[in-house]
Structure 1
Amino acid sequence: MHALPDDDDWLTNRQHILGARVRSARVQQNLTQEQLHLAAEISRDTLQSIEAGRGNPTLATLLRLAHVMGVPVTHLLE
């Protein structure tokens, strides 16, 4: 078992990586934020927050995004 670091910087780093992967997958699919948030039935603010690395999306939100973009959810979380 791994002990947690003394601060949460690692969480912030992972959120930025997740956001970059969502944005990259969206761009590869030639989708705008508008198209993606509407297709995934999430708010534009939620999508913008995730892509900016500030979001703390639910599993359901990640599954929606992955499904709409046609990528495994693990691709977003690796």
Structure 2
Amino acid sequence: MVGVNIKRLRKKQGITQTVLAQSVGIRQESLSRIEKGRLNPSLSTLTRIAKELNISVSTLLGEEQIVPLTLYRYFEE
């Protein structure tokens, strides 16, 4: 589910796997595996991906609730 959301949102923004992976600091192969559900990303990686896609971690997780900005900032650090 997380990987599908990352792929959908990445493509919606017109960002390639290579570009997103480089900006997040992971290998393109790792991002590919995450998107295919073959690799579970760490919270740190999820946070960096969310930041690059300008969305919240809860959006990546497919949660409907809105994460308060203060909580999002906590995970950024």
Q: Settle same-fold status: TM greater than 0.5.
A: yes
Q: TM-score, normalised by structure 1?
A: 0.76
Q: TM-score, normalised by structure 2?
A: 0.76
Give structure 2 stretches of 5+ with no counterpart.
63-77
Superposed CA deviations along residues 35-65 of structure 1, whole A, max 9, x for unmatched, are 1001111111210110001111100000010
Task: Give the greater-gyration-radius structure (CA).
Answer: 1
Which residue number corresponds to residue 46 of structure 1?
30
What amino acid is the match of 2:61?
A: L
1:75 is aligned to 2:53 = no
The alignment's C-alpha RMSD in Å is 0.7
Task: Give the count of matched residue pairs.
Answer: 62
Match of 1:61 among 9, 27, 45: 45
Which residue number corresponds to residue 35 of structure 1?
19
Stretches (4+) displaced over 3 A: none
Q: Percent identity?
A: 35
